[in-house]
Each structure stands twice: as C-alpha cells, then as structure tokens.
Structure 1
Amino acid sequence: MTYQTKSEIRIVNGETFIISDSVGNIYQKDTGNLGFFFRDTRFLSELILKINDLDLSILSAKEVNYFWSTHYATLPFESIFEAHPITIIRKRAVGNGAREEIIIHNYKTEPVDLTLSIQLDADFVDIIELKRAQSPEGKPVIEINSEKNQHIFVYQVNGICRKTVIQCEPGAEIENKKISFKINIPAKGVWRTCLTIRPVWEDKVKEPEYLCEDLDKNEPIIHKPLQEWANQVPRLTGHCSILSKTYERSLMDLAALRFYLDPENKPVIAAGMPWYMALFGRDSLITSYQCCFIAPDIAFTTLRNLARLQGKGYNDFRDEEPGKILHELRFGEKTLLGEKPYSPYFGAADSCQLFLILLHEAFRWTGNKELVNEFKEPALKALNWIDNYGDMDGDGYIEYQRRSKEGLDNHCWKDSSTSMIFSNARLAEPPIATVEFQGYVYDAKLRLAELAEEVWDDPALAEKLRNDVKKLKRRFNKDFWIEDRGGYFALGLDKNKEKIDSMTSNMGHLLWSGIVDDDKAEIIVKQLMSSHLYSGWGIRTLSIQDRGYNPIEYHNGTVWPHDNSLIAEGLIRYGYRDEANRIIVNLLEASKYFDNRFPEVFAGYQRSEVDFPVSYPTSSLPQAWAAGSSILFLRLILGLEPDRKKENIRINSHLPAAIEDICVENIRLFDKNFSVFVGKGRSEVRLSD
C-alpha cells in the first residue's frame, strides 16, 4: 500500500522504498527525504518526468498496495474549461529494485509529437546523514552503456562501492543525468515504455522482483510474500467496523515492514519508514510481542537475529556490554566506515528485559520447548547483563549513561534528548534509572522463572528469580513513589537518586509488568485517565500540569498508540477493563483521521479543543509498533489467552459498546487452526479444518 503524507507518496517492500511527490517525481526539496532507497542508502535523489519540458499536473495518485503505486497526471490545463488531451500514467513497483511503467494516452483526433524527458541524479547519501541534512563525502560518476540502454551512477569512496543502474527500453536517448524519448502518438493512440532500477551493493546487482519483461505476459502483479502473509494471519469479520478497518490496514503495514536478515530467509519487522527501516531491538521486540498470537514465527525470528548479534564485549563507541541486546543495526556508509556506531549500536537499557519477555510470550502461544531451549544461552546472557551491567552502581535498579560520543543521550523508549525532565522542565542528569525499566525487570524475571522451571529443569534458578522480584517489588513501590498531586510514580531516578517528578505515561507500563502494589493501582489508573494525562484520543506522554508539556514535542505531550496499547493491557491485568476499552475505542476513532492507520505518534491536544487528531510532523508511516497496537487491541477485547496444557484458546471477552460482535478465523496455534466468535452474551472457540 502507498503512504501519503501531504504531497508525498511512499511505497515500501522490505529494505527497498521510494518516497516521491504525488506526480511520482523525486527531487531535492526542503524536507530532503525524497528518493529511491535501499539498505540505508539513497540510490536516486532525482527522478523528474517532464513532457515537452513541462511539469506534469497531478490528477490522482492512489494506493494499489504497499509495494505498488499508480500516478495519473496530465499537462497543464489551458483553462478550467479546457482539459489537456494528454494523460500520463506511471505505475511503479518496488522490491530489491524498482520498475516504472510509463503510459501516455493521446485523446486528440490527430497525432501528436512529444518529447518525454527524465532527469536523474544520485547522491548515495547515508540515511542517517540525510536525517541530519548532511552531504555524502564523494560524488558519483556517470557511465552510459548505449548498447544495453543503461544509465549508471557509480559511487566509490574509501573502498565502498555503490551503483544505480537505470535500464531503459530501446529508443531512449541517454545523456548526462537525462533520459529522453521522441514520441509520435497516433490519434486516440497509446505509447508505453518501462524503466528498471537496480541497486548494486558491493558489486552485487540486486535483481528486482518486478521486471519490465514481465509486463509482456500481461499478468497482474502478484506478490507472493503478501499472499503468504495473508494466508498466515487471522481474518476478522463481524459487526466491528471500528476495529476491522484499522486491523486490516495494520496487517498491510506490518507486511510492508518485513525484511530479511536471517540466513533461513525468514522475516523480521523494521521499525518504521522512512528513517527506521532497520532492525531495532526495542521496536522489533515490542511489535513481535503485540503480534505474537497471530504470527509467533516472527517472534522467534526476531529473537534469533537479536541473539546472533548479542553484545560480546565492552565497547564504549557502541555502548556495548556482554550479553546486551542491540538497539539498532545499520548498513549505511558512515556505519561501514566506522564513523557511526550502528554495526550494531547497543544504546538501549531495556532490550534485554524485552528479549526475555518476548521469549516467554512466544512460548505461551506455541508451547515450543525446542525453540525455547535454543535461546537458553542468550537468555541467560541477557539476565547476566541485567544483574551485572544494567545495574551500574549496585543499587538494584537498571540505569543508563551513554559512553559513545555518537550515541543517544537516553537509552529508554523515550530516547529524545529532552525527554528525561523534572516537573519544572529541568533536564535530569545521568545515570538515570527510568521507572519502566524496573517493571520490565520484574516481569522478565518472573517469566524467566517459569521457563527455568518448565523447560530448562532448573528449579534453583526459578526460585532465585522469584525471590529477586519479591525484593524488587517491595523496594520499588517505596523508592519511586511520590505522594504529591494525589500520588504517582516518578519518571525515574537521576544521578543523585532524586526522583524525577514529572508525571508521565511511563507509569502505565508498570501496570503492564505487574510490579505495582494493589493499593497503588487505582491511584495510577485515575491519574492516567484524568484530563491532564488523557487527551480524549489517548494517554499523553507527559501531563499538561508539567512545565515541559508541549502537545507536539516528540516525547513530552504527544500520544503514542504503542504506549497506550501496553497501558491498556496493564489496565486489564489489574481489572480495569472499561478504562482499557475507552483507550482502545478512542484510538480507533483517531485512526479514522489517519486513513484507518495508527501513526507512530500524533499531537496531544485535548480532544475538546480540536476537530480531529492533529498529525505529528515527522511521524513514521508505516510504523511497526503502531501497527502492532491494533493487533494487541483485538486480543485484549476478546480476552484471548493460550492454554498450553490443553492446546486450546481461552476467551474472557469484554466488548466495548461500539462493537456488536467479532469473528476471528485462521488463528494458527499449537499446530491447529482456531476460529473465535464473541458477541453480546456469547463466545465460542472452534477448531477449523
């Protein structure tokens, strides 16, 4: 499916994506993010189609699928009453490379002579540098192979070789940064041509999934990975339109973000487009958790790739320690030259906990002891990191402080430089122990204790872990609690162990983890659902009562769907199902204004003050854990839980008023295929053929 923000059209397929304007052109503009990208590198920075040296006028650009866009244009109108008789259609598909079919219709009653030109350029900029408006070190040279109708950009710097090969059909005139065609189209006639764009990575030509010669077969585009995904995931029907449209869109977003790092060619989920089309520890783990009941295979593939890249030593430049799970893996020029630390980078102090949480969650939904045994060693290494590296000063809490001069200031999910602030907007100084880290440790150790007991036959480890969390819960509920403002949990502890007293959504994650004492849960729920944290569309990241609040600052007042999805599960854990449903329904209502999609983040303005939820200017679309939120919402509404012993599914539904009934088919678990129906006063689980 295509992704349009303002005048942008975005199509993506794994590591390959194109961002263009609505006409289909790529050019340099203020935002600087247009281009044809592969593996963290922009392989085309300009692709501008003109007719008779005239810019095209857009008619419409519609989504066909996430990897395929179609653009309808014409030449400038002479007046509002006289449309131009020439129509230009551009059909574009991506996957490893790209194919663009160009079709021109002449609706005149006489032939026309036209000149079609395509202006080209490539800068091979590292996407990390593009985000920071930096330029690449070198300049590409141009090669023209007239015999093969190829225009080639070649980039070689410090041993790195990249090429972009644009393959034309016969009849093209190929010049410096330009391809042109002299065209004669008969009356009421049609002219066609096709371009193929191939990235070359270290002298290896990537063969596009869609080629111009395939057009001669006159067959519709069939994307096998999409077919396989559609056959794998559950189908949603029933009187639940408020959920079903967002659910379907989320499935497509997740399909679009799949890419392949595993030697067995199994997909993992990239964090988001355009800036985060890479493996991210935290994002990939949380997304896999949200989607575990519909796609547990992705959870195991995520775990496998993260375990393969687990920290081995102590590296300041990469913020690496033994056993640590990565934050981010990149392949751009600056990373390969060693100027950036993303090979991988380990600046996340919660990825080890989330690794253990996902491992247990995947076991819950599959009962696969063999796969859990595969991850015993990485799991114990992650546990060792938690106890011996994550706790930097031995106080029993996980904290962080960056060591890399190129690294992130903050190693939590709110990783922007201004997110760790006191209520008076003063920045907290590291080392910082954020509140949710401790909840994640509590949950991870309880889950690991179950694996130690049931799978690894290690009751001593299970007992130790359970004793650890009892002590942690008792200390935590005292050390992080603030009595002011009606009571709440601090955002964290700073270097002096002072409580960072801003009121944030982070404390909602504590309900998800289960670390909150029962007598504090009701207080936290009231705070989260109060008008100073609840916008009417969802829970804000920061209370409006805090001086640092800004409804359009990345982590200090916005609404994040994934944040709310974890909080909603926490609310249900503590028995607050009506409150959870309110979050779910309000976010689904918001998704209507984003083409039935959850963006990464949107503004935190109060619902009573705005006519619709306001976009965040640089929000990723599609974005993985935002898309995963609707999958988790479906499970929460249905109250689905696995029963490993009986190899069945339990239902404890609580439908919101906006949903009359839900039927979910094709839930594949325990080597079985389940269908679930939930309606008012009735629920049923059936085995399917």
Structure 2
Amino acid sequence: MAEPWAFAGESASLLGAQGGMVTLVEESSFCISGRSGDIVPGGPQGLFFRDSRILSRFELRLNGHQPEPLAASPVEPFSASFVGRSRTRPGRSESTLMVLRHRYIGRGMREDVTVRNFGSEPAFCALELRVEADFADLFEVKEGYVHSEPEDHRSESVDGQISFSCRKGTIRRGVRVTASEHGRVAGDVMTLEVIVPARGEWSMCVEVAPSIDDEEIEPRYRCGRPVERAAPTERLQKWRREVPLIETDHLVLRNVITRSAEDLGALRIFDPDFPERTVIAAGAPWFMTLFGRDSILTAWMALIADPDLALGVLQTLARFQGEQVDLLTEEEPGRILHEMRFGDAASLSLGGGTVYYGTADATPLFVMLLGELRRWGLARELVDSLLPHADRAIEWIEQFGDRDGDGYVEYQRASDRGLANQGWKDSWDAVRFADGDLAKTPIALCEVQGYVYGAYLARHHFAVEMGDQ
C-alpha cells in the first residue's frame, strides 16, 4: 500500500506526452517533434534538411525514464523551449529534478540541455540520448510510406559522437551528433552520468551537423557561440525592424497583422550564390522551397510590406526560366518553374536543386508581377533587366501554352511522371465537370486565361511607356 501523499503510478501528462506537435522552420531545415521535445520514430516527426530526414529519432531519458512534459514554448520560428521534470521517486511526493531543452534549427540543430536540482542534496543523473537517422525522402515521410532503408546505410560511434550516412542516388548524405560533455557511446545511444549539486544545475550542448558528399555543412547554431549572433536570429531582428508597423486599437486586427508579418518573415529563403536576393517559400514545413505560382502570389500580396521580396522572386525565377524541351521535367523555352527540390542536390545553392516546370499559371503570373513592380515605380533598372524574360514568357504562352492556336492556354502533362493537373488545384482529381466526372486533358482553366490577359496588359504597359506600340 502506498504511503499517504506518496506518488504511485503514471503521470497524466506522460500518458499523452506526444499529443500535439511543435514545428520549427529555418529555410530548408525544419523540425517536427512532440511537445516533450522528443522526436519519435514511426510517424512524420524528424529533423529535415534539404528534403531529407536527417534525424528520425531524438529521445532524451533521465534516469531511465522519459521526463514528464510540463511546457513547450516556440520562441521564434526556428527555436523553442521544452520543460519537463523527472519522474517522482518512490516514496516522494514531488520530483526535484527539472529538465530544460532549448532547441535551435538551421542547417542542422543545436540543443542546450540543462538539469536543475531543486532538492536539498546532490542528485545523481544518468542522461541517455538515443538518435537514429533514416534519411527518408520528405514526401515519403509526409505521405507515411517510408518502408525501406536507404542504400549503403552506415552508423558509427567514435570519440564520443554518433554518425550516420547513406547514399541517395549519386550523392552521399550524412549527419553527425556530438555533445559538449563527453560520455559513453554505444550504438545509437549516448550516456552521461553526473552529480547535480543541491539547488544547482548542470548543462550540456548537443549539436547536429549534416553533410553532403562527406563535406560537413556548418550549422547556423554552433555550441559555444552566442545564439543572438547566428544568421537566422540577426535576419529576423532586421526583418522586425524594417517591416511596416500598423497602429490600431482593434486587438484582433493587430494580432492578425503581427502574426502575418512573423509568418512571412519565417518563409524567406536566402540563396548563398545571391545573398542579396530573398525569395518566399510556398509554406511551412513541407513546402519550404521555391514554387512559381505560390512565391509570385505571396510576393505580390506582400509588396506593401517588403517590395524586395517580389524582386528577389522574379530574379530567381528568371534565373531558372526554361531553355529547352525536356519531357521528364516538362521544361520548355520561356516557361517559369513550378517547384524546386533538393533531395539529390550536392550543394546549398538554389542552383543545385531539381526543377520541375509542370504548371500553366506561373509563366503569365511572372509577367503580371513584373508589370506590377513597374506600376509601383520600384527598382526601374532591375525591372528593365527582367523585361527580356517577360518577352520569353509571352513566347511560351503563344507557342507552348496555346498548342492548338484556339486562343486558350491549356495543359497536358508530357509523361505519367508529371502532375495530372497543372493549376492551383493540382491534385489528380481536382478538376471535374458539374456531374462529378473527371475532366480530361488538355484542360484550359478559367483563371489561367485571366492571368494570360493580365500578362498581356502588363507587357502593353511597358510598351506604351517606351513608345513601342
């Protein structure tokens, strides 16, 4: 029989420890974990980098048990804090050990782990960190069909660190997990045993660094370096200083505007080849990459907040504008890309990604946004430099978009590997007749015809301005 006031049984918060998710994003890195901070295998959780899951397990145990989760608080889009406490020892009414985990995402991950002892005597602590890396493709994880182990998967435990690697196509991917405090490493488990002073604390830093072709990528957040000096932190602070402020006594409106500005700032992507160009990702966390239609429309709607976003999107899309006919990627001369992915990329540059062009609307939208920048009177010289790309986009509309010359831009995928539907509603069964039957390609979407008309109007504006009618 349990003593009065002595705890026996399982904590209610542990019974639902993984209920709810915490998502952090920073460019092409993102992390999905439970509210305990643990990354648990068998679902969508993980640490992702360049479209691959570089950690499929990251679980912390204190004295052989999972800490009881007390709180999870996202601090920034790329950082969060998790608070837990050790399980109550038999015969005790309260736990005296608290675990704090401060996580930072960016080209890998940093996690600061602190154990605080609120007791009146020193406390023994055995911390175990179990890690795994399956290098699963992002969409395999999202759709829930990760079945096979990657080619040439290896794991190694040396010098107090754990490393994993595999081959994906022609590229070798890897990840290394290290801790600032050395302990025992056996397989995929890192163990540290410490004595935490009475009313004192003990800390360590865990660093996760990805690699491509055996060349390690430097994480944005390094152990031993000030967090506030890291590039994501400085960029976000700069964004907050420069984004327009709205004053209103309407609380809901003020909260919506503030939240929108924060979300927009979190969606920005920076290309190391062109650091002055900022582009907008399609969405977090699964679509943290450049999309033609989504990036154009978001940048257009954000003109009042930061017109440089629109310019960066247009410059980047122009850089990858179609040059030739490729049936597999659906590239065509003058066509604007639909999506860029990095599963087999060998570099951090946007230029190292795989481009797919199967979309009917991004090309006319490109011309429309360029015309809108001119209408706003922004960056005239840079806008003028993009005009030849607008002309190539118009040529695509006339030569490839309207294949049968009936005046309508339609789409039909070039192979069974492409998107069946190539507009905003791009699910395979998204376009139907009124009776529910699936529409058969070629399909001319009504909104695309409106975009094409808008593209011609935008180009006409340039012609009138230059006296070239």
| Shared fold, TM over 0.5 | yes
CA positional deviation for 1:221: 10
* 1:349-360 equivalences in 2 (<5 Å): 349-360=360-371
| Aligned: 1:188 with 2:188 | no
1:234 corresponds to: 244
What secondary structure is seen at the aligned counterpart in 2 of 1:188?
Answer: coil
The 5 Å alignment of 1:497-508 reads none
CA distance in 2, matches of 1:168, 1:374: 49
* Cα separation, partners in 2 of 1:356 and 1:39, compared to 1, 3 Å: same
Query: Which residue of 2 is the match for residue 431 of structure 1?
Result: 442
Q: Deviations over 1:501-524 (max 9, x none)?
A: xxxxxxxxxxxxxxxxxxxxxxxx
**CA distance in 2 between partners of 1:18 and 1:239 (Å):** 36
What SS is found at the alignment partner of 1:252? helix
Find the aligned partners of 2:111 and 2:152 in 1 and give their Cα distance.
26
Local SS of the residue matching 1:155 = strand
In the alignment of these two chains, the number of paired residues is 443
Q: CA deviation at 1:88?
A: 0.6
Q: Give the equivalent residue in structure 2 for 1:459.
A: 468
Asked if 2 retains the 8 angstrom alpha-carbon contact of 1:56 and 1:74, the reply is yes
Letter in 1 for 2:427: S
- Matching residue within 129, 137, 150 for 1:137: 150
1:347 counterpart letter in structure 2: G
* Displacement after TM superposition at 1:241 (Å): 2.0
Following the alignment from structure 2 to structure 1, what is the Cα–Cα distance between the partners of residues 135 and 58?
14
Contact 2:179–2:207 (CA under 8 A) maintained in structure 1: yes
Q: Alpha-carbon deviation of 1:261?
A: 2.5
Q: Is the Cα contact below 8 Å between 2:176 and 2:210 reproduced in 1? A: yes
1:441 corresponds in structure 2 to: 452
**More helix per residue: 1 or 2?**
1
| Mapping 1:481-496, distance limit 5 Å | none
Q: Gaps spanning 5+ residues in structure 1: where? A: 337-341, 461-689
1:412 matched residue in structure 2: 423
Asked if 2 retains the 8 angstrom alpha-carbon contact of 1:318 and 1:404, the reply is no
> Which amino acid in the other structure matches residue 303 of structure 1?
L
Query: Which residue type is aligned with residue 255 of structure 2?
Result: K
Between structures 1 and 2, the one with greater strand share: 2
User: Which residue type is aligned with residue 330 of structure 1?
Assistant: R
Residue in structure 2 matching 1:159, options 162, 170, 175: 170
The worse-fitting range, judged by mean Cα deviation, of 20-29 and 283-292 is 20-29
Kindly indicate whether residue 291 of structure 2 is the aligned counterpart of residue 280 of structure 1: yes
Q: Select 1:384's aligned residue among 395, 410, 413.
A: 395
1:75 match: 86
Give 1:39's match in structure 2, choosing from 38, 50, 54.
Answer: 50
Q: Which residue of 1 aligns with 2:219?
A: 208
Q: CA RMSD in A?
A: 2.3
Alignment of 1:49-448 (within 5 A): 49-77=60-88, 82-132=93-143, 133-134=145-146, 135=148, 137-146=150-159, 149-214=160-225, 223-261=233-271, 263-265=273-275, 266-333=277-344, 343-448=354-459
CA 408–458 in structure 1, closer or farther in 2 if over 3 Å, else same: farther
Deviates more, 1:361-370 or 1:171-180: 361-370
Matches within 5 A, 1:565-580: none
What CA distance in whole angstroms lies between the structure 1 residues aligned with 2:283 and 2:229?
31
In 1, the alpha carbon distance for the partners of 2:248 and 2:260 equals 18
Query: Could you tell me how far apart the structure 2 residues matched to 1:209 and 1:10 are?
Result: 17
- Superposed CA offset, 1:525-563 (max 9, x none): xxxxxxxxxxxxxxxxxxxxxxxxxxxxxxxxxxxxxxx
- For the Cα contact (< 8 Å) 1:38–1:96, is it kept in 2? yes
Which secondary structure does the structure 1 equivalent of 2:412 belong to? coil
Distance 1:302 1:402, change over 3 A: same
1:18 maps to which residue?
31
TM-superposed deviation, 1:220: 11
SS in 1 for 2:305: coil
Judge conservation of contact 1:292–1:361 (CA < 8 Å) in 2: no
Determine the C-alpha separation between the residues in 1 that align with 2:175 and 2:272.
25
Q: Which residue of structure 1 aligns with residue 40 of structure 2?
A: 27
- Does the CA contact (< 8 Å) of 1:40 and 1:277 recur in 2? no
CA deviation string 1:209-255 (max 9, x = no partner): 2222126x999998110122112210111223222211111111121
Moved more, 375-384 or 50-59: 50-59
1:335 to 1:422, Cα distance in 2 relative to 1, 3 A: farther
- Cα separation, partners in 2 of 1:304 and 1:176, compared to 1, 3 Å: same
Deviations 1:259-289 (A, max 9, x none): 1236221221111122211110011000000
Give the direction of change, closer, same or farther, for the CA distance of 1:83–1:237 in structure 2 (3 Å limit): farther
Superposed structure 1 runs of 4+ greater than 3 Å apart: 76-79, 134-137, 217-222, 333-336
The percentage of counterpart residues that share the same residue type is 35
Task: Kindly indicate whether the alpha-carbon contact (under 8 Å) linking 1:126 and 1:334 is maintained by their aligned counterparts in 2.
Answer: no
User: Residues 348-377 of structure 1, C-alpha deviation per residue, up to 9 Å, x if partnerless?
Assistant: 100011101111112223433211211111
Q: List per-residue Cα deviations over 1:399-429 (Å, max 9, x = no partner).
A: 1111132211100011111210122211111
